[in-house]
Amino acid sequence: MIKVGIVGGTGYTGVELLRLLAQHPQVALQAITSRSEAGMPVAQMFPNLRGRVNLTFTEPSVDNLSQCDVVFFATPNGVAMKQVPELLAKGVKVIDLAADFRLKNPVDWQQWYGMPHACEDILAEAVYGLPEVNREAIKKARLVANPGCYPTAVQLGFLPLLKAGLVDANSLIADAKSGVSGAGRKAEVHTLLCEAGDSFKAYGVAGHRHLPEIKQGLQHIGGQAVGLTFVPHLLPMIRGIHATLYARLTQDVSDLQALYEQTYANESFVDVLPAGSHPETRSVRGANVCRIAVHRPQGGDTVVILSVIDNLVKGAAGQAVQNMNIMFGLAEDTGLMHIALLP
Ligand SMILES: NC(=O)C1=CN([C@@H]2O[C@H](COP(=O)(O)OP(=O)(O)OC[C@H]3O[C@@H](n4cnc5c(N)ncnc54)[C@H](OP(=O)(O)O)[C@@H]3O)[C@@H](O)[C@H]2O)C=CC1
Ligand SMILES: CC(=O)N[C@@H](CCC(=O)OP(=O)(O)O)C(=O)O
């Protein structure tokens, strides 16, 4: 059994990790931390876990966490980078759900996250945990940077077009919408029901911190510089991301549908829908899957890709468990075959 610790077990991605890992056949949950709830039984805070998780929240301490084979950080940006060097030195593998190890250039990190990086040497060895792109490197990694939620939906959507070099990489557009759980569980005015409900707005148009992450990933996939306009929106729903992606074809292609189906033919967690489909966020709610539809309206030169994920699953905790499975040599879908919840 893999001994697992979670730092930040009271947040939305933390409790989603607990839900998935409590059902994982090869995992023994060892330590779940929270500074504010230390001493409280996990199932008292989250009744959905009653009878399945018998641990109590503890203060985060390296002594406790170093008993684990792998530690997931489900903490705000800037927390993991201060603790990861010590855990790695003690032989513990780490999967960080925050952004601390996603951007390869520490100057970019400082610019977008407003703090200096605490361990640049370790940043260099971190592997970006998008399995559909980096599976071989993830197998050998000690430290995986789990991708952001928007970056997962956007990169998987554009990947086949960029890999095949069929579109103008300088004029990509990603118009993305997220449910409110994407903002986390901490109390903030803009996520109150009366602020976010019955309304719809864009935000971060001038520059969202996922922009450099998405550009870095797309540049790696396509092997060339990328120009991207990324506009996130807040939707009055709890879970889900819907990304509508636009790209201009630079050459004629007879069958984009076949390109997408072939690219993802061997991927368990990317589902290319039949031609003409319009994926819904509820078709992935609670499931570790990205569903994609390919459109070429009126046969013109603009390709429109629709990509949906659950931000807490394929956009966070599910992808993190997928990465753990790869790092520990398990079948990639172990404990991850949940069907989405309808309605
Ligand atoms: N929500 C989403 O859809 C996604 C989130 N992410 C990323 O995952 C991470 C967690 O997100 P989310 O679950 O939404 O966040 P939440 O705000 O819901 O939870 C944060 C958790 O971290 C703990 N925590 C806060 N500060 C510290 C600290 N200094 N040291 C140790 N623990 C701390 C909190 O508990 P306590 O204060 O009691 O210690 C809490 O359990 C973030 O980096 C987020 O950007 C990534 C993809 C998607
Ligand atoms: C709706 C909402 O607020 N979403 C968050 C992004 C999700 C997130 O948690 O960011 P990381 O993936 O980088 O960890 C935001 O825009 O800040």
Note if the pTM is more than 0.95. Answer: yes
User: What pLDDT sits at residue 252?
Assistant: 86
User: What pLDDT sits at residue 130?
Assistant: 98
The CB of 315 under 6 Å from ligand 1? The reply is: yes
CB 172 within 8 A of CB 229: yes
CA distance linking residue 319 with residue 161, whole number of Å = 22
Percent of the chain with pLDDT over 70: 100
Give the mean pLDDT of the chain. 97
Active site annotation includes 149: yes
**Confidence band of 281 (pLDDT split at 50, 70, 90):** very high
CA distance linking residue 79 with residue 70, whole number of Å = 17
Taking the domains of the chain in order of start, what are their residue ranges?
2-125, 149-312
- Cβ-in-10-Å burial (0-12, 13-18, 19+) of 148 comes to buried
CB 316 within 8 A of CB 284: no
Q: Which residue of 75, 214, 323 sits with most ligand 1 atoms within 8 Å of its CB, as the best mutation to test the pocket?
A: 75
CA distance linking residue 9 with residue 182, whole number of Å = 16
Phi/psi at 298 (nearest 5 deg)?
50, 25
Both tokens of residue 164? 């095949």
Give pLDDT tens digits for 214-265. 999 999 999 999 999 999 999 999 999 999 999 999 998 889 999 999 999 9
- Which CATH number among 3.40.50.20, 3.40.605.10, 3.40.50.720, 1.10.3720.10 corresponds to the domain 2-125? 3.40.50.720
220: Cβ–Cβ under 8 A, 6 or more apart, which residues?
Answer: 128, 133
* CA 322 to chain CA centroid, nearest Å: 11
The CB of 78 under 6 Å from ligand 1? The reply is: no
For residue 185, the ligand 1 atom closest to its alpha carbon is 18
**Confidence band of 47 (pLDDT split at 50, 70, 90):** very high
227: Cβ–Cβ under 8 A, 6 or more apart, which residues?
Answer: 169, 170, 171, 172
Both tokens of residue 255? 């069958």
The CB of 240 under 6 Å from ligand 1? The reply is: no
User: What pLDDT sits at residue 144?
Assistant: 98
Both tokens of residue 220? 């790696």
Give pLDDT tens digits for 303-331. 999 999 999 999 999 999 999 999 999 99
CATH of domain 149-312: 3.30.360.10
Separation of CA 149 and ligand 2 centre (Å): 7
Give pLDDT tens digits for 62-96. 989 999 999 999 999 999 999 999 999 999 999 99
User: What pLDDT sits at residue 343?
Assistant: 86
- Cβ-in-10-Å burial (0-12, 13-18, 19+) of 183 comes to middle
CA distance linking residue 125 with residue 41, whole number of Å = 36
CA distance linking residue 19 with residue 190, whole number of Å = 27
Give pLDDT tens digits for 110-162. 999 999 999 999 999 999 999 999 999 999 999 999 999 999 999 999 999 99
Give pLDDT tens digits for 165-188. 999 999 999 999 999 999 999 999
Q: Residue 2's beta-bridge partner residues?
A: 27
CA distance linking residue 16 with residue 185, whole number of Å = 12
Give pLDDT tens digits for 190-215. 999 999 999 999 999 999 999 999 99
Separation of CA 34 and ligand 1 centre (Å): 10
User: What pLDDT sits at residue 171?
Assistant: 97
CA distance linking residue 320 with residue 339, whole number of Å = 18
